[in-house]
Amino acid sequence: MYNENVIGSESRSGNHSFLIIGLILIGLAYGVMLFYRGLLDPDEGRYSEIPREMVVTGHWDEMRMLGYRYYEKPPLAYWMVAPAIAVFGARDWAVRIPLLINILLMVALFYALIRPHWPEGGGRKSLMVMVSLAGFFVGFCLVMTDGFLVFWFSLTCISLFRAFQRDATAARKLTFILLATVAAGLGFLTKGAAAVVLPALIMGLWLLWEKRWRALLTPALLLAGIVFLALLVPGLIWLERHNPGFITAFIFDEHIARFTGTRLSQLHAEPFWYYIAILPLLLMPWSLFIVRAIRTIILQRLLTTDALTRFCMVWIAVVVIFFSASTGKLISYILPALPPLGLLLGRWGIAEPLDGSRWDRRLWYLGMVGPWLAVLAVILVWAVSFFQLAPKLVSPVSGISVLLLMPLLLVAFIVLWFRGFKHFTGAMLLSAGLLFNAALLLSPLAGRDFNVLFQINSANVYQTLAGLLKPEDQVVVFGKYRPALSFYTGKLPYMCYGMNELRAGILMERDRPNYLWTRDAILQLVKAGPGRVYAVVDTKDYRKKFLPLKLDFIRVDFPDDPNTIILELRPGKMKNNVGNSG
């Protein structure tokens, strides 16, 4: 029999069974999301193709994408992915092995953080909430620099937190400060200065809140600064030597100009409140428990009694406010705030036992509305897809795909039958079922177009083309660049009338043959080549940009794709002189 007033008062057998099933479902969800899914272009394609080219060419000292220099990020994330490609080959599942290792290290890192401060049960539950957040699940399963950055960022922050504990000895302080220094340097080599500046700001503000700012006046920090420069400066000089112009492009264009909005091609301009609006989505399905977490923190005066809660609050605020002030905004920028957010939400909003009051019980049920709304949302998305109510927004799926909903419906039935919505383990089981179903709906099992929600993936087309290409065949990409295409085919494509993020690299090396500047160049490639020449065209560019070139072509029988058209170019007579511009 369950007690409504105390979370976790369910029988031990029920508690144990729910947790085992939930953990299995979470493991399966991460397994599907990491290892049974094509690459999303351009992001995952970009950070898989660059290390592939490093492995193929043997030039791990050069940062190139599709053959051209690419300086938007430092090389550490590429170096973390490249060994998996070297060992297992250019396979989409292989490039995600480092992501799995990264996730496991983060879980271990945060467990080590909370273990001395929170009760064992509450700590474990907060970790389970953290890994079941939608933002954590999606953000750290994508092949991007952000996931790796968050690990180094977190290691820096946590090491500094451990170094400046009140009872820290001089030796312990020095050890953790040096560990933070190394982690900050590796974070800088992963994505840039945010890995250094923000942890320093977090620590300074936290110590100011603790009224211990004089703790910063320690010789260990001076030593740390010397070590940091000794590690970073030679590395940057080495990178500049092998990548001419990297320091100027990375520091001024990718940091200062991107933040201030003065970058030549400024993207992702969003209002100041963008991240405040997007956070509830990242915290799904636990979003509504934030109300109970705030109430618990206030009533228990945790901001004055719990140092770890204060530290996490400063961590979250610094990340969200800093990137809110930036002109360019992407959801991935605030991923460093998600782990501490998940921990606080899990510990004080979900794992904390009910205090017996009517208000607390109501807030618990309010929080449980979130997972049930998410269940309805998953069913609704499938229905919209199956009945093709919005074919331009949602990819169609076949009738048999209803089987994908069975695990979630079964979990929902179990939670309802055993009144699991009244305790943590039932809520965790339902959330785990949601993660598993989300992974299935985002996998190839959901339909031939791979993704039920966003038609932005052409992995199936790329893989089919890769199977048909012969060594003498060539590929020409018209319009937007497609790094995942090169990853799957193992061949650098020719490009035409679209530079995108490669503009700087293309203009730096205009003499490279990969870019076709004119229609004559396209015709020459088609006529001179011993094999076939395939054209990859975005559907939006087909009529406005491709057809006016008046090239001779035939359609290729390929899997349907809403964004990609595959054509075979034929040697034809030039009808007029139409030039191509980047």
Which tens digits make up the pLDDT trace of 255-278?
A: 665 655 555 554 556 788 899 999
Three-state helix/strand/coil letters over 364-429: HHHHHHHHHHHHHHHHHHHHHHHCCCCCCCCCCCCHHHHHHHHHHHHHHHHHHHCCHHHCHHHHHH
Distance CA 102, CA 95 (A): 12
Distance CA 135, CA 339 (A): 10
pLDDT score of 440 = 82
Distance CA 535, CA 117 (A): 59
161-to-155, 158, 168, 170, 237 alpha-carbon distances in Å: 10, 5, 10, 14, 31
- Given a cut of 60, is residue 387 above it in pLDDT? yes
DSSP 269: B
- Residue 286: left (phi > 0), alpha (psi -120 to 50), or beta? alpha
- 3-state secondary structure at position 579: strand
- Ranges 61-70, 94-103, 351-360, 552-561: which has the least confidence: 552-561
417-to-79, 138, 413, 420 alpha-carbon distances in Å: 49, 30, 6, 8
pLDDT score of 9 = 44
- Looking up tokens 């009533």, which residue turns up? 299
- Given a cut of 70, is residue 448 above it in pLDDT? no
Distance CA 174, CA 167 (A): 13
Give the mean pLDDT of 45-52.
96
pLDDT score of 268 = 59
Contact at 8 Å (CB) between 382 and 327?
no
463-522 confidence digits (pLDDT tens): 889 988 999 999 999 988 899 999 999 999 999 888 788 888 888 888 888 899 888 999
Q: CB neighbours of 438 closer than 8 A, spacing ≥ 6?
A: 29, 134, 137, 378
Q: Among residues 97, 191, 99, which one has the least CA distance to residue 153?
A: 191
Distance CA 488, CA 479 (A): 19
- Given a cut of 90, is residue 343 above it in pLDDT? yes
> What residue type is 433 in one-letter code?
G
Contact at 8 Å (CB) between 424 and 368?
no
Q: Structure pTM? A: 0.91
Which tops the pLDDT comparison, 259 or 234?
A: 234
Contact at 8 Å (CB) between 432 and 25?
yes
- Confidence class of residue 8 from pLDDT cuts 50, 70 and 90? very low
pLDDT score of 574 = 45
Distance CA 285, CA 379 (A): 15
pLDDT score of 394 = 67
81-115 confidence digits (pLDDT tens): 999 999 999 999 999 999 999 999 999 999 999 99
Contact at 8 Å (CB) between 11 and 420?
no
Cα torsion for 349, 351, 356, 358, to the nearest 10°?
30
- Confidence class of residue 560 from pLDDT cuts 50, 70 and 90? low
| Average pLDDT of the chain to the nearest whole number | 87
Distance CA 469, CA 536 (A): 13
Contact at 8 Å (CB) between 130 and 150?
no
Distance CA 139, CA 117 (A): 27
Q: CB neighbours of 120 closer than 8 A, spacing ≥ 6?
A: none
- Given a cut of 70, is residue 541 above it in pLDDT? yes
- Alpha carbon of residue 12 to chain centroid: 37
282-331 confidence digits (pLDDT tens): 999 999 999 999 999 999 999 999 999 999 999 999 999 999 988 778 88
pLDDT score of 464 = 86
* Residue-wise burial string across 503-539, b where 16 or more C-beta atoms lie within 10 A, e elsewhere: ebbbeeeeeeebbbbebebbbebbeeeeebbbbbbbe
Q: Among residues 505, 510, 513, which one has the least CA distance to residue 63?
A: 505
pLDDT score of 247 = 87
Give the mean pLDDT of 5-25.
67
Three-state helix/strand/coil letters over 460-507: HHHHHHHHHCCCCCEEEEECCCCHHHHHHHCCCCEEECCCHHHHHHHH
132-187 confidence digits (pLDDT tens): 999 999 999 999 999 999 999 999 999 999 999 988 899 999 999 999 999 999 99
65-78 confidence digits (pLDDT tens): 999 999 989 999 99
Distance CA 174, CA 155 (A): 15
Give the mean pLDDT of 118-124.
87
176-225 confidence digits (pLDDT tens): 999 999 999 999 999 988 999 999 999 999 999 999 989 888 899 999 99
- Ranges 125-139, 319-333, 363-377: which has the least confidence: 319-333
- Ranges 240-244, 265-269, 346-350: which has the least confidence: 265-269
pLDDT score of 4 = 40
> What residue type is 3 in one-letter code?
N
Cα torsion for 334, 336, 337, 339, to the nearest 10°?
140
